[in-house]
Amino acid sequence: MAKINKILVANRGEIALRILRTAKEMGIKTVAVYSEADRNALHVRYADEAVLLGPPPSAESYLNEDKIIEACKLLSVDAIHPGYGFLSENAHFAKKAEENNIIFIGPSPEAIKIMGDKLAAKKAVANYDIPMVPGTDHALSDYNEAIPIAAEIGYPVLIKASAGGGGKGMRVVNKAEDLEEQMNRAISEATSAFGDGSIFIEKYIESNKHIEVQILGDLHGNTIHLNERECSIQRRHQKVIEEAPSMVISEKQRKEIGEAAINVAKACNYSSAGTVEFIYDKGNFYFLEMNTRLQVEHPVTEYITGIDLVREQINIAEGKTLSINQEDIKINGHSFEVRVYAEDPSNNFMPDVGNLRTYIRPQGPGVRVDDGFEQGMDIPIYYDPMIAKLTVHGQNREEARVRMLRAIDEYEITGIETTLPFCRYVFEHEVFIDGSFDTNFVDKYFTPENLRQLDDDKELVAGIISTVVADKKSSSRSNNNLHENDHSAWRKRLNN
Ligand code: ADP
Ligand code: ADP
Ligand code: MG
């Protein structure tokens, strides 16, 4: 067993801070890395030591493998935690760390390599009787080969980049006439985004839910699952709202999908924390891909299971046997997460970076905020526009839902547009409340007018309140100023 005394976190923002916190609780020394854009970032201040990697662009900073390895050697670092994004799913980097006697907190380079490629992943699980979406099992480059295949699968079909991630490189094709153009676009997109133009075709499942299973595996062959998360509220095929457990998964299915996920993990000798993603349609689930890292939405699983996933990852990396059995995993209540992106929901979710003029976090029972910013800071244009994750826990779904609405109302952000008003709209929507929503929620139910409607409702409430305050003022001469202040504070709040 290798004792880890010092960890370097090769990431930034909320996830860097989240990892540093657990390391601190475990008595492990920490090293942060940062780019010139992040000199004042919270993760830099929080860590025991910090190393400047270079200029703001990721390629010159957070993706600079040699610089990061060099920093580890210089500061006698035992292990690297890569977080998500950046180098987290880079098999080459994991190998390089290993070659330099630094523990990579994550699965083996081989497992990363197989699961980082959607086609290789499908091949690897082929012997395990895992349900899969109908589609091609190899990369397509020739349009003439694709025509009969797409016809056989049946339109609409989905073109996907084998190396894809973060919802990028996907194209829906509704009819044969569009196939050639969409294929060419997808190939060039995949080449520029992932340096790999391999694409394949899947049946496009029109109404579906995204269900994924959290996995933990140790280095001794023990693998367990920590139940499912549902992440069906997406824009651009990327998640915005997640919850655990899912309303549509029965106890029996939970066992089935959990076992399928464990088999996917076993197919690549998986160790560490990982996520197996499925698409769910009319009671059936199909394997999509495996993400070989800590997932953005891991806090909802932490809330319902009471397990600190980063702590488990570190213990596993040290060679410890899993301290928990499958039977120990219980579901306690319900949890929701919303991703607070610096994006304008009334303008097609376009990134809206700038200065966080006001930034006041929600607090109180059952509320967790993971973020990496403070009031007055700029959101840099170079990286993912996620500002924060707001996660809540309740004894049941309804309690958690109402708590989320309360927390969203407490959150005060000005200076940039965020996804919060959109999230508020979702949490009040009847199909979200009854569980019948799917991944097309945004297309089906959301228009910018919905947000304006919400604003108008707030104006109305503000109007009522001002009348009440005016009434109070006329009936009581004392505390006049207090009322005035109350009133303006309310207005400010309601109009935000
Ligand atoms: P999750 O699947 O954990 O919910 P996302 O799909 O939103 O998360 O991706 C998590 C982060 O990783 C985002 O910052 C996203 O941009 C990044 N990411 C995911 N896959 C890739 C990839 N293949 N290449 C580059 N960045 C990626
Ligand atoms: P990524 O690597 O970008 O995360 P995924 O394969 O996990 O790609 O798919 C991301 C999202 O795209 C899914 O959550 C789902 O909403 C949608 N999607 C993926 N495959 C299909 C499909 N065959 N039919 C319909 N939607 C799909
Ligand atoms: Mg995915």
* Ligand 1 pocket check for 302: Cβ under 6 Å: no
Site to probe by mutation for ligand 1, drawn from 115, 238, 241, 279 as the one with most ligand atoms within 8 Å of Cβ, is 238
Q: What is the pLDDT of residue 488?
A: 37
Question: How many C-beta atoms surround the C-beta of residue 10 within 10 A?
Answer: 31
Q: Is the pLDDT of residue 495 over 70?
A: no
Q: Percentage of the chain with pLDDT > 90?
A: 88
Nearest CA to ligand 2 atom 14: 210
pLDDT band, residue 297 (cuts 50/70/90) = very high
Pick from 294-298, 466-470, 486-490: least confident:
486-490
In Å, how far are 267, 337, 428 from 278, measured between CA atoms? 16, 19, 26
**pLDDT tens digit string along 79-110?**
999 999 999 999 999 999 999 999 999 999 99
Q: What's the gap in Å between 85 CA and the centre of ligand 1?
A: 5
Domain boundaries, given as residue ranges, for the chain? 6-105, 134-203, 209-450, 461-496
Q: What's the gap in Å between 73 CA and the centre of ligand 3?
A: 34
Prior bond to 82 cis, omega within 30?
A: no
pLDDT band, residue 298 (cuts 50/70/90) = very high
Mean pLDDT of the chain: 93
| 417 vs 482 pLDDT, higher one | 417
* Ligand 2 pocket check for 119: Cβ under 6 Å: no
* Nearest atom, ligand 2, residue 135 CA: 23
* Ligand 2 pocket check for 91: Cβ under 6 Å: no
pLDDT band, residue 167 (cuts 50/70/90) = confident
Q: What is the pLDDT of residue 472?
A: 61
Amino acid at position 424, single letter: R
**pLDDT tens digit string along 320-340?**
999 999 999 999 999 999 999
293 is catalytic: yes
Q: What is the pLDDT of residue 457?
A: 76
Q: What is the pLDDT of residue 492?
A: 39
Among residues 18, 254, 293, 339, the one annotated as catalytic is 293
Q: What is the pLDDT of residue 479?
A: 41
Instruction: Encode burial over 457-471: b for 16+ CB neighbours within 10 A, e otherwise.
Output: eeeeebeeeeeebee
* Ligand 1 pocket check for 289: Cβ under 6 Å: no
**CATH class (in words) of the domain with range 134-203:** alpha beta
Q: What is the pLDDT of residue 493?
A: 40
Pick from 1-5, 385-389, 492-496: least confident:
492-496
| 143 vs 62 pLDDT, higher one | 62
Q: Percentage of the chain with pLDDT > 70?
A: 94
In Å, how far are 141, 204, 337 from 177, measured between CA atoms? 17, 17, 40
**CATH class (in words) of the domain with range 209-450:** alpha beta
Calculate mean pLDDT across residues 191-209. 94
139 backbone dihedrals φ, ψ, rounded to 5°: -70, 145
Q: What's the gap in Å between 428 CA and the centre of ligand 3?
A: 26
Q: What is the pLDDT of residue 474?
A: 57
Contact partners, residue 463, CB within 8 Å, separation at least 6:
none
Q: Is the pLDDT of residue 372 over 70?
A: yes
Q: What is the pLDDT of residue 59?
A: 96
Q: What's the gap in Å between 237 CA and the centre of ligand 2?
A: 6
* Ligand 1 pocket check for 55: Cβ under 6 Å: no
Q: What is the pLDDT of residue 480?
A: 39
By DSSP bridging, strand 103-104 and strand 79-81 are: parallel
Nearest CA to ligand 1 atom 13: 85
Query: What is the rounded distance in angstroms from the CA atom of residue 15 to the CA atom of residue 25?
Result: 16
Q: What's the gap in Å between 236 CA and the centre of ligand 1?
A: 12
Instruction: Using the structure block, give the residue that is written with the tokens 């009581």.
Output: 476
* Nearest atom, ligand 1, residue 116 CA: 23
* Ligand 2 pocket check for 366: Cβ under 6 Å: no
**pLDDT tens digit string along 452-474?**
777 777 777 777 777 776 666 55
CATH fold match for the domains 6-105 and 209-450: no
Fold category of 6-105 in CATH: Rossmann fold (3.40.50)
Query: What is the rounded distance in angstroms from the CA atom of residue 396 to the CA atom of residue 412?
Result: 26
Q: Please name which ligand lies nearest the alpha carbon of 133.
A: 2
Q: What is the pLDDT of residue 165?
A: 87
Contact partners, residue 63, CB within 8 Å, separation at least 6:
86, 87
